[in-house]
Amino acid sequence: MASRVRRPDTDVLPISGGDTLTVKRFLTAAEFRELMRASTKPIKMGAATTGDVALEIDPTESGLATVVAYLVDWTFTDYDGRPVVIRDQPPAVVRAALDAIDADSYMEVQRAIQAHDSAMRAYAETEKKMMDGSPRPELISPFAK
């Protein structure tokens, strides 16, 4: 049986301008739950008196939540060349830094991390099918160095 606890490895994703993003290779269950919580908003169903509530994915928050879940560090600097520090910072600080970069840069970060997320989910699916002891697939993150 394969281990259900993954080593907390990171991958480095190169983006434009020579910058890099350091991201978690996989999320833990707690990180995945937080991602789901931050990506959804409750909506009331039917008459208000019934109290029925469903969850709706918020696409804008979902993208940001995915970025915050995976992002560990980056090489970004401010206009004076000083590092914009996010490593070991609380999520609120990381979100504030993401809010402060320009929109094109943010979208590039989000696209790179969403591609990494898709690749790691595909890897995990393939790995699950191979739990019978067959050789593990190669890691297939499209950007990872």
Partner 1 sequence: MLRTIRGRAAAIKWAYFDAAAVEGYTVTQTAGAWRVTGALVPGRVDAFKLTRRPLFFVAPFKGGAWRWEILDYTTNGSTLSATLGPVTTEGSNGLTRATARH
- By the criterion CB under 8 A, which residues form the site for partner 1? 7-10, 24, 72-73, 82-83, 85, 87-88
Is 30 in contact with 87 (CB distance < 8 Å)?
A: no
Which of residues 24 and 116 has its CB atom nearest to partner 1 in the complex? Answer: 24
For the bound state, the minimum distance from the C-beta of residue 100 to partner 1, rounded and expressed in Å, comes to: 16
Shortest distance, position 88 Cβ to partner 1, whole Å? 7
Residue among 88 and 99 whose Cβ is closer to partner 1: 88
Q: Shortest approach of partner 1 to residue 129 CB, angstroms?
A: 27
Where is 95: in which H helix or E strand?
helix 91-100
Nearest to 35 by CA among 66, 63, 72, 70: 66
Beta bridge partners of 43: 54
Closest CA to 14 of 145, 111, 133: 145
Q: Quick one: 22 or 62, whose CB is closer to partner 1?
A: 22
